[in-house]
Every structure is written in C-alpha cells, then in structure tokens.
Structure 1
Amino acid sequence: MSKSPRRTYRTGLSREIVVDAAVALTVERGLDGWSMRDLTAYLDTSLSVIYHHVGDKERVCASVVDRIYAGMNLAVDESDWRTLLHDVLTLMIDHLARYPGVASWLLRNGPQTELLLPLLDVGVTRMLEAGWGDEAAIAYSFAFNTCLGAIALGDLDVSDPDSGLVGLGRMLESHPSTGSGAAQMQWMVARFTGDVADRAAARQEYCRYTLDRILDGLEARLSEIVSAGSAPR
C-alpha cells in the first residue's frame, strides 16, 4: 500500500485525515491488525500528532467505528421492532464484512460510539411499544450481539491447515465411512474454506440465517409475554 505524502508533524493533518488512514488500515489488516506505530508510519508523522488530533488507540478505534457506521446510513424510523432489527442487522452484516475486527470491537466495547446512540434509543423504544417490558433491552442486545458474533467469526483466519474449519475438513475427509450427518458437515466446511468469493458468500448466508432464526425466536418469546398478559419482571 502506498503511504500518504510525506508531512512534517502536524502540517496538513486533521482529525478526518487521521481517521481516513485508520479506516484504510482496518480494511487492509483488520481493526486489531494495526498499531499506533503503523498509523504514524502510514501518515509519516509522530505519535504526539495522532494524540493531538484524535487520541489514543481506543479513541482512534472508536472514531473508525463511528466512520464505518456513518457510511451505513442506518434508518431508525421503522415502527415495527422486527422490521427495524431485520433491516439494520442485515445492513450491518453486509457492511461490516468489509471491515474485519469491527464486529469484535463492538462485542468487547458495546455501543459506545455517538452514532449508535440514536439507533439504540429508537430500537429499545420500539421493543417497549411492542410489549417487551423489562425484557426489551435484553432482547435487543441479544439480537445485536449474536449477529456481531456471527460476523466476527467470519473475520477469523481459516488458512491454517491444522486448525479451525480447515482442520475439521481434513478430519472428516480422513473418515469416509461416516454417515450423512458428517457428509453434510463436510459440505458446509468446504463452502467456508473455499476461495475468497465462496467464503464471503458462505459467511453472508450464515449471518443472514442466524439473523432470521434470532428474529423467529424473539417473535415466539414476545408471543409468550403477550399471552401471559404482562411483561415479566
């Protein structure tokens, strides 16, 4: 990757340029795959300049997440909780796949970025309006965190021949006498360990399947709450 033009300390730098560089490094290496030293080298500047414009690594990462979420143009005006979650999380599944490590960061840190607060407020409000009661925030967080976990799984390296899905695939291939269940698993593993395009398609399908089953389960739980006549405490 080519670096930005050479600069002398703060000359020509701004918060936006620093975050732009951090986003570029995230696309290339993942959010956890670059250091502040890498960022200063990319910008050809000093660590003190990064601190002056943005802050430490966690502040830079939070700014990267904000920038990425701003690019999603999330709609928060849906009146139905399930439609809102489906639309937002589907968009998140497609968008975050391009930025490795962001899903894991959100799992570790939660929605601590300013751009996520309106979505959090509207989403939980829709859950309350639907009758979720004291389970509203828990159910909403469950949907988000489970989807984030599925996305984060897709960021893992599957190239190691002795571990992960590749290792499982080799083990299944070495036992040809196994039944239809193992054969089905072998088919799935092959999709997740194929070429780049096949892996991306398999990850997207898996995440969308996860989302649909989450929403089905939440719908069933809401029916139980409504049937009981009041939200449990």
Structure 2
Amino acid sequence: MMAASPGGPGSGTGSVPPRRRRPALTPDQVIDAALELTRAHGLDGWTLRQLARALGTWPNTVAHHVGDREDVVAAVVQRVVAMMPNPLAELGWQEWFRALLLPSRDIIGRYPGVARRLARDGATVPAALPIMDRGVGLLVDAGFGDRAPLAYGVLLNSAVLLVALDDDRRLTGPAPGEAASALLAMPAPEGAGPGWAAMRPWLRASVEDAVAVRATLYRYTVESLLTGLQADLDAGGPPGGVLPPGRRP
C-alpha cells in the first residue's frame, strides 16, 4: 500500500489548511445593509457600489440577490412599512388611525427618504396592503362610503409629508431652531397685532427644543384631520359623493 505523501490529504504536520469560504450572501443581508446605509445617509444618499462595499462583495452580486438599485430601494421601503403597526379593528376608526400614525412617525423617520418615497409613489409595497385594507374598511364601516379611500389618503399623505419635511430638514436644511431664531431676531411687522404676539412663544419653544415642537405639530395635525373627517362624516359629505358619474358602485 502506498503511503500518503507529506502534506497531502489526511497528513498532519505540514498540511495546508483548506481555504475558508465566505458564507453565501442572502437577500435579507443585502436589505439589512441597505437599511443601515439609509439610516445613516438617507434613502438617496448611497449607491449600489457603496452597498456592495459594506457587504464586502461586488455590485453584480447584490444585483444577483436583490436586483438593481430601485429593487433594493423597494425592498427597503417594504421592510420599513412592515415595521408599522396594523392595529386591531376593534379600536374603532379614529383610535385605529391614532394607533397607526402616531408611532409610525418615529418608525419611518428612522430611515430618511422613505417618507418622501411613500408620499411621491404611494405605499406600493405588499406590506402596505393589509394596513390599507383594514384602514379603508374601518372608514367604510364608519359611514364614509365612496369617500373612504379619499379620507385614508388625506390621513396617510398628510402624515408622511410631515415626516418627509423633517427628513429634509435633517439632511439638507438649516440646524434645528435656526429658522425660528432668525424670525425672533426680526423686528415686529408694522402694526403687529395678536398674531405676532402669539407666534413668539412658539418660536422660542422651537429654538429651545425643535424636535419636541415638530412632534407636537405632527400630533396636532393628526388630531385636526380626525376632527375634520368626523365633521365631514356628520355632514354627510359633498352632495353627489366624490366619484365621477358612471364610476360609482
């Protein structure tokens, strides 16, 4: 029987260890890395090459697992929307929208640019469909009828637009409170009345804690929209409904 040659398979001293193979990349790992880049730089602040570098691989490998940059962006938006709550329908329509929109501000806001994408393109990802179905269904049940999708759009679009505006301020705008400071430094307009006097405490609060003031504005917007929609519901909505003739159920 021929002896094994030195350094060959099964030999001890002098054997060359096999090359360690890097674990295979998965789509979830690609999306995880894209989420982190989005959190740090915004949805539009990174390239596919930077994403590949963060993963220690090549852009074509990323494309193989997820697709081109727009595919990765869609996957990021899908993941963020999937983090949003879909409260129980038993809450009733107003409490349901509070339970959806109030925590969603912080969830979406952790990933700058996602809100702007949602406002621009709509929530065209699978994770949005169960939320949409339940929310619009609650509005139908409440009596909004063919106005239910319109009411849903008013609530969701208003909320995500405010988050998008906060994103823009953080990414490219002036420092928090800077605009309020500039307004406070201006002389009062000639013949200023109670409006300017009422604004000054608000501006000072914005200088001291712009984050808290914006959170208050967001909550106030949601509550005002809910109040307005309740008034619309009580009034029965516009005569003839909102759908064009021939398109009503």
Name 1:214's counterpart in structure 2. Answer: 225
TM-score normalised per structure 1 = 0.81
Q: 1:185 aligns with which of 195, 199, 213?
A: 199
Name 1:68's counterpart in structure 2. Answer: 80
Q: 1:136 aligns with which of 141, 148, 163?
A: 148
Q: 1:154 aligns with which of 148, 151, 166?
A: 166
How many corresponding residue pairs? 221
CA distance in 2, matches of 1:78, 1:50: 42
Name 2:32's counterpart in structure 1. Answer: 20
Structure 2 unpaired stretches of 5+:
1-21, 244-249
Name 1:98's counterpart in structure 2. Answer: 110
CA distance in 2, matches of 1:193, 1:154: 15
Q: Give identity over the alignment, percent.
A: 34
CA distance in 2, matches of 1:110, 1:42: 29
Structure 1 unpaired stretches of 5+:
1-9
Greater mean deviation of Cα atoms: 58-67 or 114-123: 58-67
Q: Which has the higher contact order (CA 8 A, sep 6+)?
A: 1
CA distance in 1, matches of 2:26, 2:146: 44
Q: 2:236 aligns with which of 225, 228, 232?
A: 225
TM-score normalised per structure 2 = 0.77
CA distance in 2, matches of 1:190, 1:35: 39
Over residues 178-200 of structure 1, what are the superposed CA-to-partner deviations in whole Å (9 max), with x where a residue is unaligned? Answer: 64533543443444455xxx333
Name 2:157's counterpart in structure 1. Answer: 145
For the structure 1 residues 101 and 183, does the alpha-carbon distance in structure 2 shift closer, same or farther, using more than 3 Å as the test?
A: farther
Contact in 1 for aligned 2:34/2:76 (Cα 8 Å)? yes
Q: Partner of 1:175: helix, strand, or coil?
A: coil
Backbone CA RMSD of aligned residues = 3.0
